[in-house]
Amino acid sequence: MKKRSLATLMTLLLTVIIFHSLSFSTPVAGSDELKRELLEDIISVDKPELFGEYGELDIAKAKTQAVIQGMEGSEVTRNTKEWVDIFLGIIDDFEEIANLSESSVPSEHVGAIETADRINTSINTLSGYEIAEAEIPMLTELALKQFYRREGKFFEDIARDEEETREKIEYEKISSISYKKGGIYTLSDASRMEFESRRDEWVYKRDMKKASDYIKASMSHLDNARNPSSDFFGVAAAFREIIKAEDSFDEAKKIYEEHKDKELENVKGIENEIRNVYYSLMRDMLKDVAIYLLILSFFTVIIWWDFKRWGDALDDTMLGEELIV
């Protein structure tokens, strides 16, 4: 009996200890302690460079602090903590995109835009809370639009200098989308960049179709030239085919080089094959020409020798007639 009472007492004591420790680690909702914790979290956010770049965030922070300070401890609930945490998370994400957008590497800016899209989701969530200062979500949204406008300009500028058409089109698309997310002030820029991306994409696809057709023609002529018949005329026909293969490849190469397209690296093997077959046919043709010249020389010598003998015989005949006369 005593053992059972002792076990019950120990259980109650352990429960009291756990509850007591939890009450110290986690503020109770609707308490002055939770209010103090949130104010400490807000005040500890000290990002002068970020706030200097995005002044709207500094104003939003000040308004958030004012809202919490103006609330009674009993009014500061877990719901309050939720929206304050979301706001502080937005500021942290803004710091990330500010750091990424300082880079000159396009991929870093793409990463910044992806984080910005996450911020946009957080702002929408924040707008769903009943906040005394409704301007807080609006201010963060204004800061975000400012970021998007800057990124629109960044990708527009690098698109102007990009020589590889495929990358250029991608940058133009990102610029257009960023300008569009930047608000009404940059909608005309968004439309302009969208037009440029569509125009460049149309030209690019048209030229790539031509290049592909040239490559197919080059490979067809190359196949025709690979196995010529052994006679001279067969080699000559194959030589004409390899010349056509080279001409077609050169046309495709010009298009790829004009667009600085990486596809050129994938088709360069065709150029090497054309060169190998060309030299092989050239050797065969020169060999055949040499043989024909040798045969022609042989018959020329024979004919010359026959003419010489006939001339000598004619001279002897004429000399004999002169002696008789």
d(CA 283, CA 286): 5
Instruction: Give how far Cα 289 sits from Cα of 213, 243, 283, Å.
Output: 35, 18, 10
State the chain's mean pLDDT as an integer. Answer: 85
d(CA 97, CA 114): 9
- Secondary structure (3-state) at 128: coil
Per the CB < 8 A criterion, the answer to whether 30 and 77 are in contact is: yes
d(CA 31, CA 36): 9
pLDDT band at 255 (very low <50, low <70, confident <90, very high): very high
Location of structure tokens 């002696």? 323
Structure-block tokens of residue 55:
């002044």
d(CA 131, CA 139): 13
Per the CB < 8 A criterion, the answer to whether 274 and 249 are in contact is: yes
d(CA 248, CA 15): 86
Structure-block tokens of residue 153:
């300009």
Higher pLDDT, residue 47 or 289 = 47
Give yes or no for residue 222 having a pLDDT over 60: yes
Q: What percent of the chain has pLDDT over 90?
A: 63
Structure-block tokens of residue 224:
């025709």
Per the CB < 8 A criterion, the answer to whether 267 and 252 are in contact is: yes
d(CA 55, CA 49): 10
User: At how many degrees (to 10) do helices 32-43 and 78-100 cross?
Assistant: 10
Higher pLDDT, residue 314 or 110 = 110
Q: Which of 78, 91, 80 is nearest to 122 (CA)?
A: 91
Location of structure tokens 């990102």? 174
Give yes or no for residue 97 having a pLDDT over 80: yes
pLDDT at 55: 95
pLDDT at 319: 52
139-160 average pLDDT score = 97
Per the CB < 8 A criterion, the answer to whether 211 and 256 are in contact is: yes
